[in-house]
Amino acid sequence: MRKAAPLLLAAELALSEAMRDRLTATATLFKALGGGWQVTG
């Protein structure tokens, strides 16, 4: 089981990076389609 721990960590890291990339792509698409927010102040 000890050998599986580094593989699990690497897989969890890859998953979190993929989720981040998906959210970034979604935000980029939203902004490209004219969405977004106004910065006031």
The overall pTM is greater than 0.75: no
Q: Is the pLDDT of residue 2 over 90?
A: no
Question: CA-CA distance, 32 to 28, in Å (whole number)?
Answer: 6
Question: CA-CA distance, 9 to 15, in Å (whole number)?
Answer: 10
What would the two tokens of residue 26 be?
């979604």
Q: Greater confidence, 13 or 3?
A: 13
Summarised one tens digit per residue, pLDDT across range 16-31 is 999 999 999 999 999 8
Q: Which of 9-13, 17-21, 33-37 has the lowest mean pLDDT?
A: 33-37
Q: Greater confidence, 2 or 25?
A: 25
